[in-house]
Structure 1
Amino acid sequence: MRAVLVLSLLASTALLPPPALSQGVAPAAYPAASEVASPAAMARLADRLSRLAEDGLDPRHYHVPPAELAAADPARYNAETMRAARAALTDLLLGRVASLRGRVDLRRDPSSVNVSAWMAELGTAREPAEVIERASNLPPDAPALKAELARYRALVAAGGWPRITGDTRRTLEPGSTDAARVPQLRARLAFIDAALVEGAAATNPVYDERLLAAVRQFQAQEGLETDGRVGAITWATLNIPAEAKVNQLRVALDMRRGQPPRSTERRIEVNIPHYRLQLLEGDRVVRDMAVIVGRRDRQTPMLNVRMTSVQFNPQWGVPERNAREDLLPRFRRDPAAMQARGYRMYQRIDGEVVEIDPTTIDFSGYSRTNFPYYIRQDAGDTNALGRIKFVMPNGDDIYMHDTPDRHLFSRGQRAFSSGCIRLERPMELLSEALSGTGSWDRAQVDRVLASRATRSAPLARSIPVRLHYTTVIVEGGRVVMRQDIYELDAEYARALDRAQNQRLASVDGGAARNTGTR
């Protein structure tokens, strides 16, 4: 899919912003300066524009004129302030970043916002700063996100939190003594519980109960396992700088601008950095479950697709990358054990694909760059896809499926797959997917699963599936942040900070980040 978002906006004060172009209104319809605002109101507008950092935007992009110009050349001051205001208003209404390569999950709908009406109001308002303020609060959850952004910006202004040094590869256990790392841990977690560093506690080398409670609170806040053990993942999370949190919140605000109305259609949404799947009907959550997503080096791509069928007892045709990188070392160690788990090896000989007994192969002669075999895994309890596969046709060969590795769902961070989505409770999703599909009741499903035969069932109604990347959500008024596991927020923040915003950029249908399953 390629969609072109109009409303081009250059960060130049010499140009009128093109929102008018998309609404069929000539640029001349926008006055060069406010028609009714007093000099004091224009000064308040300039002040509000100088505080666009509160909204996650960089005020420097809008070229707000200096206050001195108001006395030297009032007409020019008013004109330049209004041009800056229109540019800022466009970004507040529609989002500054129009599109990013591979990010088909980013949603912009210029028609959802009557830009012309906003521009007209800005030009006729006695207090145009109030128009900017209202626009800044339009995105869903904007007040909560802006409050959290202000909190983290204050932390950054104060120097942020200290980085923990030393051996962060070694796990720190509750009750242990560590004169180097425990005081640093206390200082870092004092941002959660200031009493951790009061008086003599600041240099206490014992990982005591008070510190354990703070560690668990931090782990829960970050979506980690709340076991109190400070291992490599917790150390790394502790050392994420406050500046990164600021950027995540800026991205969260911009992503929410200019969004289309919420769909009323029955649909599935998978939030990758939160490792969650939700089946929704309007605003109602019908099903909610944990998922496992692609590793950092085999990222799950963003997709807008439809689930069309379900496959029972699927076989797994192992993609070449998985075969070379994941399974070859296991075949080297114990080919008989791999055979017992249902893996079969094939080789093309004289134009025919022939099955080869893996116990007869000397795997020491093969490597990731030299592996002439194809691998397939039979259906069964040990199959990597489990007993159910949910098919949603796409060019990246991504699907959702069951898994025999149930223990992984107890982990806080669940980026373990090669790109596909593993489901915590596939039978629950199956019952929803098969709703209205002829004779496919639970008894029929159980019979097919018990038969071990591979069989497919088309859905009576295909279901939209959206794989999206949203690290910051708001639940019950509380901001919940998760790690930027694929560094897509960092990429978005760089686009947000570009001096020139190109709103005519086209949306790429999605660059493949990887292929094969998962």
Structure 2
Amino acid sequence: MAPLILLCLALMPVIISVSSVQVYAAESAGNLELPDQTVRTHLKSYLDRLDRLDASSSSSRLEIDGQLQRFYRVLDYRVAWTNRNAIKRLVEVIAESVDDGLKPSDYHYDEIRDFAQNPPESPALKARADLLMTDAIFSLLSHMRLGKVMPRSLDPNWNIPAPKPGVNHDQSLMMAVMGGKFPEMISSLRRSSPGYLPLRKALASYRKVVGEGGWQSVYQGPQIEKVGQVDRRMPLIRQRLILSGDLSADAPLAKTNALPADSSASGVAPAPPIPPAQVYTQELFDAVKAFQQGHGLSVDGVIGIETLNAMNYPAELRADQIRVNLERERWHSKIFGRTYVMVNIPAFSVEYVQDNVVRWNSRVIVGKPETQTPVFSAQIQSVIYNPQWVIPSGILVKEAIPAIRKDVGYLDKHRLTIVDSKGKPVDPNRVNWSQYSKGGFPYRLVQASGDDGSLGRIKFNMPNRFTVYMHDTPTKPLFERARRAYSHGCVRVDRPFELAELLLRNPETWSLPKIQAAINTGRTRTVPIPVKVPVFFLYQTAFADGGKVSFRDDIYNRDKELLGALNSNKDRRSVEEAAR
């Protein structure tokens, strides 16, 4: 049976059920349309033209265009938007997309609003209006479900598959338009990720601040280090902390009787009184620490250069940062199951979620900007005690071989052994190191396990083409730093034994003491975990955190490119051009 006939049969119940809704709604509005052959001819012509334009379209645009073709084919190219109330609601829904960090212009907002206010008369304009309205809702639903920007267009290494539409997706789209269900469907998509609505709310708050002129910059000066210190910048700092929600607007000022003495020795004019608003109070100190926590800074209450730089970052740019991360939330909304491990690269953090509950979190060290930790997904399959480290090819060519050429003692210093393909040791003095400066090294460099080994005492095995893993580290003091981008791309984990215990799920066999005992033997051992656990390495520079939104530095400079793609109108133009 032909595919079109199958599709028609599949959609017939939907068409029958929604037609009554449409006709009833149209009749009640006094706007029942009769079939117009000329309008149908224009619609088919526009869709044929759109099909020809698809040769230069993105994959996401192609998917939406395919939906449009199937939708109108089932309707036999009749108009779908005959209910004036539905059109009015469509205008409202498109306008609301700005609160999701999207651009209403991507959904033909101005033109559809004009159509709603002044219904078109000519068959060509009727067909254009109908096609643009259907495209608007299909595009908005697609962008809310998967994101407007395809991640792979920005990152060729992206390997996280987008969730596929359900088997009844075309029926859902038919119901969205013909049954007027699109507002409910879009609203439900906003709830598909727990971090989405807090970011959306924060976007509105920051845009309100921008609309009121933003916040006043706090000029640099001496560090403000302790409670009771007096500084003329304190009123500006207070106001800034109120705007970010870290300080209550009615937080008390310093009490006059608690201020330093205002007079000096006898015969000297009394010193001017100290304004209470200039005093660093305990409430301000606690608010500064909360601000530092929310911006990935050292949480010490000291107002220095880094804290003031974060306070002075313009509200408009923070709003853009939230927009970018709302898009990333849309990318991620349906990729997680109930149990997974998630690393947030710019937040230098990792968490283990089991049955939708965060069971464990910790600090991590990620790749330097020149050796970035990639965004990808894999599966943790086993835990390796006392792992040996095989030097990856990139480090081998760029660092190890050049260092060995200068001093063969590099091998002993770093506890490295040369082994051949059969695992047999090779005498370093018999290797012509200068021959392999550009690659082609026929051996492996293996570092012995131990407390001083680069992988520490434990490694989480997650096969992937990037050769990136999570592991222990001997450089534990680095965890105390706020900014922790120091690795060659792998992720070093603080308190990794705790994560191993949770993943192994067998406290009788693999409790923390028993894991430690196995490691203390010094023997390398691989222990499969009972159920493979997905692990996601993601990049979120703004995210929900305990009811608030936290911000992190864009350590790999990825936000700007994504913001540019969000602001692009390239995909929208093909439909508007086809319907001219």
So what's the TM-score if we normalise by structure 1? Answer: 0.72
Contact 1:268 1:278 in 2 (8 A): yes
Q: How many residues align?
A: 473
Q: 1:73 to 1:459 in 2, by over 3 A?
A: closer
Counterpart selection for 2:342 from 269, 276, 280: 269
Structure 2 residue 462 is matched with structure 1 residue 392: yes
Q: 1:164 to 1:347 in 2, by over 3 A?
A: farther
User: Distance in 1 between the 2:513 and 2:117 partners?
Assistant: 82
How many percent of aligned residue pairs carry the same amino acid? 29
Between 379-388 and 175-184, report the one with greater CA deviation: 175-184
Structure-1 residue corresponding to 2:215: 161
Structure-2 residue corresponding to 1:122: 177
Structure-2 residue corresponding to 1:150: 204
Structure 1 residue 171, shift from structure 2 partner: 5.6
Q: 1:334-373 counterparts in 2 under 5 A? A: 342-344=414-416, 354-355=427-428
User: Distance in 2 between the 1:405 and 1:212 partners?
Assistant: 31
User: Distance in 2 between the 1:484 and 1:287 partners?
Assistant: 25
Structure with max Cα Rg: 2
* SS of the residue 1:111 aligns to: coil
Structure-1 residue corresponding to 2:120: 74
Counterpart selection for 1:52 from 64, 78, 97: 97
Structure 1 residue 46, shift from structure 2 partner: 2.1
Structure 2 residue 562 is matched with structure 1 residue 492: yes
Q: 1:26 to 1:378 in 2, by over 3 A?
A: same
Instruction: Give the letter aligned to residue 87 of structure 1.
Output: S
Structure 2 residue 164 is matched with structure 1 residue 109: yes
User: Distance in 2 between the 1:81 and 1:474 partners?
Assistant: 33
* SS of the residue 1:57 aligns to: coil
Counterpart selection for 1:463 from 522, 527, 533: 533
Q: 1:39-438 counterparts in 2 under 5 A? A: 42-66=87-111, 67-70=113-116, 73-75=119-121, 76=125, 79=130, 80-100=132-152, 101=155, 102-105=157-160, 107-111=162-166, 114=169, 116-125=171-180, 130-131=183-184, 134=187, 137-141=190-194, 142-164=196-218, 166=220, 173-174=225-226, 185=237, 188-192=240-244, 193=247, 204=278, 209=282, 211-257=284-330, 259-260=333-334, 262-264=336-338, 266-319=339-392, 342-344=414-416, 354-355=427-428, 377-435=447-505
Q: Deviations over 1:452-507 (max 9, x none)?
A: 344444445443322222344435544444443333343322222221249xxxxx
Contact 1:291 1:421 in 2 (8 A): yes
The unaligned stretches of length 5 or more in structure 2 are 1-57, 254-272, 430-436, 573-580
User: Distance in 1 between the 2:238 and 2:507 partners?
Assistant: 57
* SS of the residue 2:486 aligns to: strand
* SS of the residue 2:243 aligns to: coil
Q: 1:396 to 1:499 in 2, by over 3 A?
A: same
RMSD after superposition: 4.9
Q: Deviations over 1:336-363 (max 9, x none)?
A: 9x88975458799xxx95447xxxxxxx
Contact 2:191 2:197 in 1 (8 A): no
Structure-1 residue corresponding to 2:256: none
Greater RCO, 1 or 2 (C-alpha within 8 Å, sep 6+): 1
Structure-1 residue corresponding to 2:260: none
Kindly indicate which of the two structures has a greater share of residues assigned to helix.
2
Contact 2:176 2:185 in 1 (8 A): no
Structure-2 residue corresponding to 1:37: 84
* SS of the residue 2:109 aligns to: coil
Structure 1 residue 301, shift from structure 2 partner: 0.8
Contact 2:408 2:428 in 1 (8 A): no
Contact 1:298 1:417 in 2 (8 A): yes
User: Distance in 2 between the 1:217 and 1:36 partners?
Assistant: 51
Q: Deviations over 1:266-312 (max 9, x none)?
A: 53222323333333333133433332222333221122222233332
Contact 2:87 2:116 in 1 (8 A): no
Instruction: Give the letter aligned to residue 18 of structure 1.
Output: G
User: Distance in 2 between the 1:464 and 1:71 partners?
Assistant: 51
Instruction: Give the letter aligned to residue 37 of structure 1.
Output: R
Instruction: Give the letter aligned to residue 161 of structure 1.
Output: W
Instruction: Give the letter aligned to residue 120 of structure 2.
Output: P
* SS of the residue 1:422 aligns to: strand
Q: Deviations over 1:365-390 (max 9, x none)?
A: xxx99xx9997644322223211122
Structure 1 residue 54, shift from structure 2 partner: 1.3
Kindly indicate which of the two structures has a greater share of residues assigned to strand.
1
The unaligned stretches of length 5 or more in structure 1 are 11-15, 357-367, 503-518
So what's the TM-score if we normalise by structure 2? Answer: 0.65
Q: 1:178 to 1:451 in 2, by over 3 A?
A: same
Structure 1 residue 419, shift from structure 2 partner: 1.5
Q: 1:432 to 1:85 in 2, by over 3 A?
A: closer
